Structure 1
């Protein structure tokens, strides 16, 4: 059973041996942390499940630490004398992996690159250990998978505790925005304070469905750290009425630190936030599909047929003359829950018509983008698709002739060539646009490269 869950930050500075007096500037956070430690000490859990964004992280897999245990210290923060040694709950880990596998959730103990404890784990344990030490640890990393998968991992954690009859506490370790102040370590973005305001409102109210509504672009601009940890914790509290309490919030160093606690009260079937979100998404996508033009309709038919049968469709009858007679480069972009799921295209025409270009690139975007695994049939109803038809490229002699909203960019150095489309979420400056295009081409950020620009017609 879940005895309690806790949202906490992990600034090493908060440990006196690291802060050396500076920690007094976040005294409210320290006081709240001690309250968390006292509450966990009072609960006396058999197992603590700790979710850390600084644990090993993969794009498409949740890593759960294997073995009997691990050690660590705060030496990288100048306090090597602050040491930790934990024993892992191997039975819990084994059962969690089995339940995840049974639910087709990619999680397991493979791929550990660093056995030592990370600071996202050690900082919370520094306070917990002052009040309770007779526990085993389950150390869980996060991933680049959708937030709904993080929520589902939380449900599997609770199910594991129930199957084993284990008394557990869950600690969701994570700072908030890292971009609250211009003189902070990561600078300022207007999304930073907005993120902290929104996330503290969500976490204080316990309205966890809102966690799934935060867009990837917004979270990245805010420089958040703990959102996925909080979402896993929320999943563990699925269909449960909880008593919430906000203990503190501070951000004096340009990074947000929030602490909230959650006590399970009873079952509440109306708090099935993942299902509510998925129903809302389903309705949104259905409405989008009703409005799709013939370019996107062709791309969707291509993707759905190939994913289901492995066969390419033929060019259907009734398409416009432009699609059948004009040649152009085409990019097909596929998203799932607001996150890119595949994007492949051609800078210039390769096939006899735009229609054929869409079919070929649609298949590639769905199954051959090296950044992602091939799309599975059960994902098809969750996909949004856009088709970009490229105009001719035009050489330019200066970045001043670019506009991230209007023009895409092609960078070339020797045989290396990279492209970035215009008007992309999260790309707000020409400098960012060029840097990403260079990265895609394998061109060094400081290397000189030839520039070309192009316009696109984006179809939804």
Structure 2
């Protein structure tokens, strides 16, 4: 089996111990779950980590896939405070990350997906070498911070594209891992409804709690495909950013191979966060 680990993981910045600021317990439940997922990934011993993110380099109407030699990013405590509407912080803590890219795997995914999916393959500055470096987004850096240090492939979803295309992209990821005999870990970086609090950036809507409850039930049952059947109006009202990444994961890990285990769900601020191991 080419995919040896699969998980759904959130990406709130204060999950990282360095970025907790004045509220060290704010996301402690989620942080503990990510530590557990990281240990499971270490035991699985993958060759590469494939992260599916909603916050990477976006191209209108297209999926994107990073095929630079490296990826690099930095997160700050100030950014974390802004994202959760906390008080301004003075510590100035920062988290830096640089990872090599599994370019062979990235190109194989692109080759298998490109005949019928709109996919942009990205690089920067030079064909190879240290300057060939694209930015790492927080949707990728947060889960990677808990995972073993392996080469990465980062895939950006395309919410304007049909759900079914996201599933097909996941199948291309699986086929590429099979073709290269690559032991891969696939991580769907997902936060859920963002409309849980009136003072949050998206306000409050009662569909936020409804959607998150339905999502948790679907994930616990291993029925990721059910996410594609959620009403458009509920999705618009609740403002999740996890549906698309979870459906890519559904394509990469067939239903009969999933062993779902929800580790935690919490909503300490305006958005919901869920940790689950799927394989």
TM-score by length of 2: 0.87
| Residue 205 (structure 2) aligns with | 189
Aligned residues: 258
Return the alpha-carbon distance in structure 2 between the equivalents of residues 6 and 251 of structure 1: 19
In the superposition, relative to structure 1, how do residues 149 and 111 fare at CA in structure 2: closer, same or farther (>3 Å)?
Answer: farther
| Residue 99 (structure 1) aligns with | 112
In the superposition, relative to structure 1, how do residues 188 and 112 fare at CA in structure 2: closer, same or farther (>3 Å)?
Answer: farther
Return the alpha-carbon distance in structure 2 between the equivalents of residues 115 and 49 of structure 1: 15
Give the CA RMSD over aligned residues: 1.9
Q: Helix, strand or coil: the match of 1:199?
A: helix
Work out whether residues 9 and 174 of structure 1, in 8 Å CA contact, stay in contact via their aligned partners in 2: yes
CA drift at 1:80: 5.6
| Residue 140 (structure 1) aligns with | 155
Comparing both chains, which one has the higher relative contact order based on Cα–Cα distances under 8 Å and sequence gaps of 6 or more? 2
Residues 1:155 and 2:171 aligned together: yes
Measured against aligned partners, the alpha-carbon deviations of 1:83-138 in whole angstroms (never above 9, x if no partner) come to 10000000001111110123x1111314879921111111111122xxx21x1100
Unpaired runs of 5+ in structure 1? 264-460
| Residue 134 (structure 2) aligns with | 115
Larger Rg: 1
| Residue 212 (structure 1) aligns with | 228
| Residue 166 (structure 1) aligns with | 182
In the superposition, relative to structure 1, how do residues 39 and 21 fare at CA in structure 2: closer, same or farther (>3 Å)?
Answer: farther
Taking the TM superposition and a 5 Å limit, the aligned residue runs for 1:307-322 are none
In the superposition, relative to structure 1, how do residues 145 and 23 fare at CA in structure 2: closer, same or farther (>3 Å)?
Answer: farther
CA drift at 1:21: 4.2
Measured against aligned partners, the alpha-carbon deviations of 1:161-217 in whole angstroms (never above 9, x if no partner) come to 000000000010011011112233432111111110111111111112211102333
Return the alpha-carbon distance in structure 1 between the equivalents of residues 19 and 258 of structure 2: 35
| Residue 89 (structure 2) aligns with | none
Work out whether residues 65 and 109 of structure 1, in 8 Å CA contact, stay in contact via their aligned partners in 2: yes
Return the alpha-carbon distance in structure 1 between the equivalents of residues 237 and 189 of structure 2: 20
| Residue 58 (structure 1) aligns with | 59
CA drift at 1:27: 1.7
- Out of 125, 143, 160, the residue aligned to residue 124 of structure 1 is 143
| Residue 193 (structure 2) aligns with | 177
Return the alpha-carbon distance in structure 1 between the equivalents of residues 100 and 206 of structure 2: 42
Unpaired runs of 5+ in structure 2? 81-91, 126-132
Work out whether residues 58 and 142 of structure 1, in 8 Å CA contact, stay in contact via their aligned partners in 2: no
Q: Helix, strand or coil: the match of 1:109?
A: strand
Taking the TM superposition and a 5 Å limit, the aligned residue runs for 1:177-326 are 177-263=193-279
| Residue 21 (structure 2) aligns with | 20
Work out whether residues 65 and 156 of structure 2, in 8 Å CA contact, stay in contact via their aligned partners in 1: yes
Return the alpha-carbon distance in structure 1 between the equivalents of residues 165 and 124 of structure 2: 21
In the superposition, relative to structure 1, how do residues 260 and 82 fare at CA in structure 2: closer, same or farther (>3 Å)?
Answer: same
In the superposition, relative to structure 1, how do residues 150 and 112 fare at CA in structure 2: closer, same or farther (>3 Å)?
Answer: farther
TM-score by length of 1: 0.54
Measured against aligned partners, the alpha-carbon deviations of 1:329-365 in whole angstroms (never above 9, x if no partner) come to xxxxxxxxxxxxxxxxxxxxxxxxxxxxxxxxxxxxx
Work out whether residues 198 and 204 of structure 2, in 8 Å CA contact, stay in contact via their aligned partners in 1: yes
CA drift at 1:58: 2.8
In the superposition, relative to structure 1, how do residues 115 and 219 fare at CA in structure 2: closer, same or farther (>3 Å)?
Answer: same
Q: Helix, strand or coil: the match of 1:6?
A: strand
Return the alpha-carbon distance in structure 2 between the equivalents of residues 190 and 59 of structure 1: 30
Work out whether residues 66 and 153 of structure 2, in 8 Å CA contact, stay in contact via their aligned partners in 1: yes
Return the alpha-carbon distance in structure 1 between the equivalents of residues 215 and 35 of structure 2: 22
Return the alpha-carbon distance in structure 2 between the equivalents of residues 192 and 200 of structure 1: 12
Q: Helix, strand or coil: the match of 2:153?
A: strand
Work out whether residues 54 and 245 of structure 2, in 8 Å CA contact, stay in contact via their aligned partners in 1: yes
Moved more, 10-19 or 236-245: 236-245
Return the alpha-carbon distance in structure 1 between the equivalents of residues 70 and 156 of structure 2: 15
| Residue 46 (structure 1) aligns with | 47
Q: Helix, strand or coil: the match of 2:225?
A: helix
Work out whether residues 15 and 23 of structure 1, in 8 Å CA contact, stay in contact via their aligned partners in 2: no
CA drift at 1:259: 0.6
Deviating runs (4+, > 3 A) in structure 1? 78-81, 110-114
